[in-house]
Amino acid sequence: MTAHGDQGASWQRSEEPAAAAPPPLDEEAERLIAAYLAAIAAERRRSSLTLRNYRHDLVDYARFVQAAGRSLLAVDRPFFRSYLAELAARGIARGSVARKVSTIHTFYRWLVAEGVLNADPLHGLRPPKRERRLPRVLEPEQAAALVTAPAADDVYGLRDRAILELLYATGMRVAELVALDLAAVDFAEGRILVRGKGRKERIVLAGRPALQALRRYLEQGRPALAKGRNRERGAPLFLNRDGGRLSARAVQIIVKRAGLLAGIEAHPHLLRHSFATHLLDGGADLRIVQELLGHSSAETTQIYTHVTEARQRRAYTDAFFNIWRPRKRSDKT
């Protein structure tokens, strides 16, 4: 059976031509990008995921420059606009293009600050405006169905239920959740210490259902996963099947699987969007929601007020239609 399966896999591989590997970066581009990433990693305390995204954006741009027979140190705005046209032709979303422009522009400003360049070649260039799309949110009943989808009848179900409850109850990011240690949770006060972007710390609040789910996991699920280790207060809160810290990718799979059980297309940030929107629906102050989400600017949180307004407008329209819609005439007289 195994041999037959291997033959099928071999046949499939022979039918599908392998994608050509991208050309390696020239020595100058590789050296400049590596030096820049090392500098911001030391100075700004960026996460490994953020640095990986920066490198991806810079390498993509450097390959475009290299394919045009130019150097990163010998570009101008007209040439950079040709790169933007290339991104548009590839169908890259405007939000992603804006992020790439920001990354590349910051890279060039660093080169000027380091004396590598005399002037910023992109000075005065404006990135494309981001599309203003309202985030999708769950109705409260859908959120309840999602977080209770895993059957809490084994160690994994207990863990997954606690994860979903915490994501919805606190609005924390996946990276923040998987970075939690045992010492971060204060059951007496219903508070959790979270380390967010830039390693900034904040306190988030958790309600009774989330704390109850978390306590059940700690008492009945985590000990079996820990396998006699990771008991100290600095140990990871959420563990994988091998007793190590759970990964962000694993949490994404857990949320997606719970969504399938609940009949909802779900991802972790959907719970964060729903948390913020439901708080504002309930009358919470925007500044409080901003602090709970860990946003450095209220403008970032402002998008959720538009979601709330849209939901209120839809509820009003539905209610108005239900009141004033014409009734069908009865055939009976």
Catalytic annotation present for 229: no
Number of domains comprising the chain: 2
Task: Please tell me the predicted confidence (pLDDT) of residue 240.
Answer: 94
Task: Please tell me the predicted confidence (pLDDT) of residue 13.
Answer: 38
pLDDT tens for residues 241-296? 999 999 999 999 999 999 999 999 999 989 999 988 888 888 888 888 888 888 87
Determine the structural domain holding residue 248 and report its residue range.
140-318
Residue 32's CATH number: 1.10.150
Are 145 and 289 within one domain? Answer: yes
Catalytic annotation present for 123: no
Element (DSSP H or E) covering residue 305: helix 298-324
Point out which residues pair with 202 in neighbouring strands. 194
Are 284 and 153 within one domain? Answer: yes
**Residues 6 or more apart whose Cβ sits within 8 Å of residue 63:** 22, 23, 25
Residue 307 lies in a domain: yes
Are 148 and 284 within one domain? Answer: yes
**Residues 6 or more apart whose Cβ sits within 8 Å of residue 263:** 145
Residue 61 lies in a domain: yes
One pLDDT digit (tens) per residue for the chain, 333 residues: 443 433 333 333 334 444 566 778 889 999 999 999 999 888 766 777 888 999 999 999 999 999 999 999 999 999 999 999 999 899 888 888 888 999 999 999 999 999 999 999 998 887 666 656 667 888 889 999 999 999 988 999 999 999 999 999 999 999 999 999 999 999 999 999 998 877 788 989 898 999 999 999 999 999 999 987 767 777 999 999 999 999 999 999 999 999 999 999 999 989 999 988 888 888 888 888 888 888 877 777 777 776 666 665 665 455 545 555 555 554 444
Angle between helices 140-147 and 155-170 (to 10 degrees): 150
Catalytic annotation present for 272: yes
Are 159 and 251 within one domain? Answer: yes
Catalytic annotation present for 100: no
Catalytic residue from among 100, 161, 272, 278: 272
**Residues 6 or more apart whose Cβ sits within 8 Å of residue 307:** 134, 135, 137, 273, 277, 280
Residue 16 lies in a domain: no
Distance CA 145, CA 213 (A): 15
Q: Which residue from 249, 293, 250, 243 is spatially nearest to 271, judged by alpha carbons?
A: 293
Q: Global pTM?
A: 0.59
Are 144 and 281 within one domain? Answer: yes
Residue 148 lies in a domain: yes
Give how far the C-alpha of residue 215 lies from the chain's centroid of Cα atoms, to the nearest Å: 26
Catalytic residue from among 55, 197, 245, 267: 197
pLDDT tens for residues 135-150? 788 888 999 999 999 9
Task: Please tell me the predicted confidence (pLDDT) of residue 299.
Answer: 73
Catalytic residue from among 173, 222, 273, 278: 173
Contacts 24+ apart (CB under 8 A), 251-254: 251/163, 251/174, 251/177, 251/178, 252/174, 254/150, 254/160, 254/163, 254/164
Residue 158 lies in a domain: yes
Total residue count of the chain as it appears in this document: 333
Are 215 and 313 within one domain? Answer: yes
Distances (CA, A) of 113 to 71, 118, 277: 19, 9, 42
Are 181 and 276 within one domain? Answer: yes
Catalytic annotation present for 269: yes
Catalytic residue from among 55, 99, 195, 295: 295
Task: Please tell me the predicted confidence (pLDDT) of residue 182.
Answer: 94
Residue 201 lies in a domain: yes
